[in-house]
Amino acid sequence: GAVVSQHPSRVICKSGTSVKIECRSLDFQATTMFWYRQFPKKSLMLMATSNEGSKATYEQGVEKDKFLINHASLTLSTLTVTSAHPEDSSFYICSAPGMTGAANYGYTFGSGTRLTVV
Amino acid sequence: AQKITQTQPGMFVQEKEAVTLDCTYDTSDPSYGLFWYKQPSSGEMIFLIYQGSYDQQNATEGRYSLNFQKARKSANLVISASQLGDSAMYFCAMREDTGRRALTFGSGTRLQVQP
């Protein structure tokens, strides 16, 4: 079935540095990738939608300059948290609309990245 | 306005018993899809069950069934014969078939299965 590989699964970085999270579709082409953020014991909140070949669409309240999203190819979307601060610590997870008719009805999730900024 | 509402922050159930997790939704789109996901402590999102807005019958997937009441805009998940491994967070989500088609998630219900 459709697989989205997300890396890293866990990262600890120093305040002020940047962190890049990759989501790669392994056996299908993902022209769209949804990026979610999840605080501990909270729901998944949509941050932005990346589209191959065009600019990402950000949700209201999400800082475009802090959360840089790039969809470089049909199989790779990246989220870069720039100048990270402790309040950026969170669980980030990507999701790609997969194949119509797939058993999961079209949404394939990465395994998530737990970011801790110290 | 909140589109997906899960009113049960936490639920307990005895092993082998059935449990219902509530979900109500709000949309003006006539075409939409409703999903339930399980999220264990590892964080991965595990797809459980799907119900399309035009589906006449309630969806079932093994021990999972979805009690879809369209007029009430509810899509409750029923887990039968609970197992210890069912302990996790459960999220209800909706896809509206206009616009970007991203999933909107409810706040989740933490289910704990007791032996």
Q: What string of DSSP letters covers chain B? A: --SEE---SEEEEETTS-EEE--EE----SSEEEEEEEE-TT---EEEEEEETT-SS--EETTEEEEEETTTTEEEEEE-S--GGG-EEEEEEEEESSTT--EEE---EEEEEE-
Which residues of chain B lie closer than 8 angstroms to A57, CB-CB?
Answer: 100
- Residue A33: the pLDDT is 94
**B20: closest CA of chain A, how far (Å):** 19
Per-residue confidence band for A104, with pLDDT thresholds at 50, 70 and 90: low
- Residue A61: the pLDDT is 95
Strands B109-114 and B10-14: parallel
CB contact under 8 A, A57 and B105: no
Please tell me which of the candidates B33, B42, B44 has its beta carbon nearest to residue A109.
Answer: B44
- Residue B6: the pLDDT is 97
* Portion of chain B with pLDDT greater than 90, in percent: 87
- Residue A35: the pLDDT is 97
* Portion of chain A with pLDDT greater than 70, in percent: 93
B99 in Cβ contact with B86 (< 8 Å): no
Query: Would an 8 Å CB–CB cutoff place A91 in contact with chain B?
Result: yes
- Residue B99: the pLDDT is 74
Query: Would an 8 Å CB–CB cutoff place A102 in contact with chain B?
Result: no
Interface test with B, best of A109, A114, A116 (most B CBs within 10 A): A109
Is the model's pLDDT at B19 over the cut of 60?
yes
* CA–CA gap between residue A59 and residue A46 (Å, rounded): 7
Which residues of chain B lie closer than 8 angstroms to A93, CB-CB?
Answer: 43, 45
Per-residue confidence band for A27, with pLDDT thresholds at 50, 70 and 90: confident
* CA–CA gap between residue B102 and residue B65 (Å, rounded): 23
- Residue A2: the pLDDT is 80
Per-residue confidence band for A98, with pLDDT thresholds at 50, 70 and 90: low
Please tell me which of the candidates B33, B100, B107 has its beta carbon nearest to residue A105.
Answer: B33
pLDDT in tens, B58-107: 999 999 999 999 999 999 999 999 999 999 999 999 998 777 789 999 99
A104 in Cβ contact with A4 (< 8 Å): no
* CA–CA gap between residue B68 and residue B53 (Å, rounded): 9
- Residue B111: the pLDDT is 98
Phi-psi sector, B48: left (phi>0), alpha (psi -120 to 50), beta: alpha
